Structure 1
Amino acid sequence: MTRTTAPRKGGRWIERWDPEDEAFWKETGERIARRNLLWSVVSEHIGFSIWSLWSVMVLFMGPEYGIDPAGKFFLIATATCVGALVRIPYTFAVGRFGGRNWTVVSALLLLVPTTAALVVMEPGTPYGVFLAVAALTGIGGGNFASSMTNINAFFPLRKKGWALGLNAGGGNIGVPVVQLAALLVIGTAGAGHPRVLLACYLPLIVLAAVLALLRMDNLAPLRNDGGALREAARERHTWLVAFLYVGSFGSFIGYSFAFGLVLQTQFGRTPLQAASITFIGPLLGSLVRPVGGALADRFGGARITLGSFVAMAAATGVVIHASLQESLPLFLVGFTALFALSGIGNGSTYKMIPGIFQAQALARGMSGEAAAAYGRRLSGAAMGLIGAVGGLGGLGINLAFREAFRTTGSGTGAFAAFLACYAVCCAVTWAVYLRRPAGPAGPEPEVEAKPQLTSV
């Protein structure tokens, strides 16, 4: 059933959208949805690159900048924090302005932090200025929330795990790509030329905006629902899944931002040596995120999420052992495994959201369209909150690293804290979403819901 809404004028607005109707999906829906997914990935990819810009800018900042490792970790943490906080208003923006329109605007906004970094990136710039510019790059993190809300509305429930995983994974790859680009610049022009990297991204940002303008669509039924946001905020499952997303996505983005600096600080790698390794983990984590979504579609999000956290705890144990033994090869093996496993957990955790609220509706006695409508409203609203809280997990990781290196000169203490966090995530996933799968918390209903057509 399609929501009745007043027609919106101008731009590329689609008034009727019902992907759960198989005839509609086969005739026109799938083609349009896949096209929007493709160009959404492009824009989100650039957004992630800009959000993670300071994970590589710190590699260019040698002794002449006068900033110690703790100060560099705080620059990274600032970008992470802002990127998490702007996810909520970015999710609102999709329903207010349209997915295509906001993709264009959010892409063009990336010109602001990139140009600012281009201007200030030199020795002698006050630390406060670097901090302000790092904060500006956080707007790139908001692109994820608006993109996921938009793509969530395009696909039927049976395809959401795959579509959201591919959308997020393609965006996440922006992290290793900017790190590879930094490696190329350091290896050719040298560590004293960060502006070369920044200048390369300016035309790419404009290109992403132009492609979104020409190739994407707005869904008229996708409207804001402030009541859904308030209701989702009162639901304990919103915050439980947000906590799980802290463990999965928070790990991915936190480790992605900090990896190169950890290699430099703890293992004495040069900027070139660090950059030549840094991209591998984020690349693997990005590539396997769609796999996590697809596995969740088939086996259930909670099962895959639990398995990923168990494996992440084991990989963290390897990293702690390697850190104590000062074994760089073993450290790299464990850390790279953490990236891949967090990517799988990212996809499976996000897939849990629509199923949880659909199952909750059924448990409350709703059926048919009433249950589907409840699931649509609550899952879309919850996604913005969950994405924001998950991003703050990256802030926690970078602050933990900052404190560990400031006090002991090693990241071992931080990894011990992360291990405890993964243990709690395992316990929550099992106790709430697997131990009693038939209850109100059951995340994987057998009945497919209608697609999410409301955002927060």
Structure 2
Amino acid sequence: MSTSSTTAKADNRTGNEWLQDWDPENDETWDQALAWRTLSVTTFTLTLAFASWFIASALAPKLTNLGFDLTQNQLYWLVALPGLSAGLLRLVWMVLPPILGTRRLVSLTTLLLLFPLVGWAVAVQDPDTSYTWLLALSFMSGIGGGAFSGFMPSTSYFFPRRMQGTALGVQAGVGNFGVSLVQFVTPWIIGFSMIGFLGASQTEAFPGKAPRDVWYQNATYVYVPFVIIGAILAWTMLKSIPIKVNVRQQFDIFKNQDTWWMTLLYIMTFGTFAGLSGQFGLLIKNIYGGGNAEIARLMTDGTTQVLVEGYSIPDPVKFAFLGPLIGAGARVLFSPLTDKMGGARWTLFAGVGILASVLYTSLQLSPDAGAGASALEADFDKFLYGMLAIFLFAGIGNASTFKQMPMIFERRQAGGVIGWTAALAAFGPFFFGVGLTLMEPETFFYIGVAFAAMCVAITWVRYARPGAPKPS
């Protein structure tokens, strides 16, 4: 039997579910088909988890149009709370892979997604739903975000180190598409009744348009059958690797300084991706849309969406999906490049890109509504391109940091570090929501510029420069 910790046989972990003598570094015995099957199933379920995690960000900007009496700050909190719960739950999920094993962890977590999905479907049909219950649903949505810190380490056990940049990049990147998926699918799926018994229609009053019948429960019900299928696939197709590691051993990662440096770098990349994914629609609405008091004042009347000067207010749902789509795509496309060229240099490149694009976008956060339609439209275009650039570089950095961690840490520690850094970065939507509630967007973005500059310096000194202590 292999002496590797990933192949250690646990006394009570025998039977068809548990693999024995598993060593992905041994090409002669490594079951490549099983590894890719595991990646496929966990990626499918992780995509559903991310869709569940960000469902509040797709629904919140529209709740007031459905008759919900909510303030701007209350909407920010609804979108922020899934980030808080995801970060907390990732601290739990990060220690579960060795305890539950891959099959049970993925199967049970996927079934838990049904609670927030069904709960939101019921809540959006009643404008009298209490704000407390909406907050509870937002918190439960964080289950989907918590899953990441269990799914990723589980998958890492099945691949050799030389392929982990690609494997983890594909899983995380495709999983991240769940964020864009929920933003893209929602505007389409709510336009018709799927099945009558799922609930009656609601009336959406959107400024500048005639009221229309919508079925916002479809935005979450559409994922329910796929969640059930994903849980069945996980239970029937996945295996588990018995790993002997106690809780104290898992937490020895905190004695390694690179755990803390990589946590900061992943907060810069994934924290930015997740935070902006949750808030993108609200930023559009509150800076260039009806949430901007000056723009609202210049509207011709209380029902039209067109300013006297001819400026048409952008609908957040038409743009909110683009950022997560670009970020997720960059993570998938750049993952193989990190395997070939190393992760540190791409993290450095991503950090510089994030710094520059956040600084550029910060200059587009105070549009002058009195400057006329053409000026407003030009400012919005600059804002949009700046935001999309942030998503692009964040996606590249997401791929490169996940390549670095398996190279910096031994296999037993790498899974724990991945789970820990992912947990801290998952607070991104929460901190972005709280920050945008407490301060002006410009101030918040300037803080982001300073943080990115610090992370660029860390990357260069510790990982990317010639003769760096930990080249990766």
TM interval, shorter chain, is: 0.7 to 0.9
For 2:437 and 2:426, how far apart are their aligned partners in 1? 17
For 1:160 and 1:312, how far apart are their aligned partners in 2? 24
2:197 matched residue in structure 1? none
For 1:293 and 1:148, how far apart are their aligned partners in 2? 15
2:215 matched residue in structure 1? 193
What is the letter of the counterpart of residue 235 of structure 1?
N
Give runs of aligned pairs for residues 240-255 of structure 1, distance below 5 A.
Answer: 240-255=261-276
2:241 matched residue in structure 1? 219
Give runs of aligned pairs for residues 355-434 of structure 1, distance below 5 A.
Answer: 355-357=407-409, 375-404=410-439, 408=440, 411-434=441-464
2:169 matched residue in structure 1? 165
1:339 matched residue in structure 2? 391
Q: Secondary structure at the match of 1:323?
A: coil
1:131 matched residue in structure 2? 135
The 8 Å contact of residues 57 and 278 in structure 2, kept in 1 or not, is answered as: yes
Task: Give a deviation string over 1:389-425, Cα, whole Å, max 9, x none.
Answer: 1112332222212223xxx5xx222222211111111
Question: How far has the Cα of 1:7 moved from its partner?
Answer: 5.8
2:51 matched residue in structure 1? 49
TM (norm. structure 1) is 0.87
Does residue 293 (structure 1) correspond to residue 295 (structure 2)? The answer is: no
What is the letter of the counterpart of residue 296 of structure 1?
T
Question: How far has the Cα of 1:428 moved from its partner?
Answer: 1.3
What is the letter of the counterpart of residue 24 of structure 1?
T
The 8 Å contact of residues 287 and 366 in structure 2, kept in 1 or not, is answered as: no
Given the superposition, is the C-alpha separation of residues 223 and 74 from structure 1 closer, same or farther in structure 2, using an over 3 Å criterion?
Answer: farther
Does residue 88 (structure 1) correspond to residue 91 (structure 2)? The answer is: yes
Task: Give a deviation string over 1:133-176, Cα, whole Å, max 9, x none.
Answer: 11011111111111101111000000000000001011110011
Given the superposition, is the C-alpha separation of residues 107 and 224 from structure 1 closer, same or farther in structure 2, using an over 3 Å criterion?
Answer: farther
Which protein is bigger by CA-based radius of gyration?
2
2:281 matched residue in structure 1? 260
Task: Give a deviation string over 1:363-397, Cα, whole Å, max 9, x none.
Answer: xxxxxxxxxxxx12222222221111111233222
TM (norm. structure 2) is 0.84
Question: How far has the Cα of 1:132 moved from its partner?
Answer: 1.0
The 8 Å contact of residues 96 and 223 in structure 1, kept in 2 or not, is answered as: no
Question: How far has the Cα of 1:245 moved from its partner?
Answer: 0.7
What is the letter of the counterpart of residue 401 of structure 2?
T
Q: Secondary structure at the match of 1:24?
A: coil
Question: How far has the Cα of 1:436 moved from its partner?
Answer: 6.2
Out of 46, 49, 68, which is 2:71 matched to?
68
For 2:249 and 2:450, how far apart are their aligned partners in 1? 33
**In percent, how many aligned pairs have the same letter?**
29
The 8 Å contact of residues 435 and 444 in structure 2, kept in 1 or not, is answered as: yes
For 1:280 and 1:186, how far apart are their aligned partners in 2? 19
For structure 1, which segment, 240-249 or 291-300, has the greater mean C-alpha deviation from structure 2 after superposition?
Answer: 291-300
The 8 Å contact of residues 60 and 194 in structure 1, kept in 2 or not, is answered as: no
For 2:58 and 2:400, how far apart are their aligned partners in 1? 29
Q: How many equivalent pairs are there?
A: 416
The 8 Å contact of residues 279 and 429 in structure 2, kept in 1 or not, is answered as: no
Out of 126, 141, 144, which is 1:140 matched to?
144
Does residue 59 (structure 1) correspond to residue 57 (structure 2)? The answer is: no
Given the superposition, is the C-alpha separation of residues 41 and 272 from structure 1 closer, same or farther in structure 2, using an over 3 Å criterion?
Answer: farther
What is the letter of the counterpart of residue 407 of structure 2?
G
Given the superposition, is the C-alpha separation of residues 203 and 272 from structure 1 closer, same or farther in structure 2, using an over 3 Å criterion?
Answer: farther
Greater helix percent: which structure? 1
Question: How far has the Cα of 1:35 moved from its partner?
Answer: 0.8
What is the letter of the counterpart of residue 127 of structure 2?
P
The 8 Å contact of residues 228 and 381 in structure 1, kept in 2 or not, is answered as: no
Q: Secondary structure at the match of 2:363?
A: helix
Task: Give a deviation string over 1:255-286, Cα, whole Å, max 9, x none.
Answer: 11111111111111689821111111101111
Alpha-carbon RMSD across the aligned residues, in angstroms, is 2.0
For 2:245 and 2:257, how far apart are their aligned partners in 1? 22
Unaligned 5+ residue runs, structure 2?
Answer: 194-202, 205-213, 291-304, 306-312, 368-375
The 8 Å contact of residues 87 and 144 in structure 1, kept in 2 or not, is answered as: yes
Unaligned 5+ residue runs, structure 1?
Answer: 358-374, 445-456
The 8 Å contact of residues 461 and 468 in structure 2, kept in 1 or not, is answered as: no
For 2:121 and 2:42, how far apart are their aligned partners in 1? 26
